[in-house]
Amino acid sequence: MRTILIVFLAALVAGAGCTKSPKSMRNFRLPDGDAGRGNAAFVALKCHTCHSVAGVELPAPTADPAKILALGGPVARLRTYGDLLTAIVHPASELSDKLTSSDRWKMGTSPMKPVNDVMTVSQLIDLVTFLQPRYRQLEPVYEFEYSHTP
């Protein structure tokens, strides 16, 4: 009887973890975007005033040089589609890992101006499609010494 109770409780706990939260993003899908339109949206939304994009010729940033952030290029952790969507629609959720910890501490929050009220969903999808392939993951560096004496 005790074994049956333990199995039942384990199944109940395991099953509780499978219920969908009302805020679940499971099964959320966006249509495919267009990188060319994303490049145009980047300029139209004036993202280029504070950002450059690795490998892309854009109008020069005009912001204070200390506030300019390069997007794309080599990174330790690739930016996923979801990371980029979040960074655009909720920039205060995470400061760039390209900033030093000292700069992140000084800033406290993202200097990025909200664009949610002026950007269309299509522009958002196209922006992420334009930016995501610009990131390149760095190869890990393994340092070890091996000596073999016969």
CB 69 within 8 A of CB 96: yes
- How high is the pLDDT of residue 110? 73
Residue matched to tokens 């999808």: 125
pLDDT at position 5 over 50:
no
pLDDT tens digit sequence for 120-138: 999 999 999 999 999 988 8
DSSP states of 31-65: ----HHHHHHHHHHTTGGGTEEETT---PPP-S-G
Domains present along the chain, CATH in parentheses: 30-136 (1.10.760.10)
pTM: 0.71
Q: Are 59 and 122 in contact (CB under 8 A)?
A: no
- Alpha-carbon distance of 41 to 58, in angstroms, equals 12
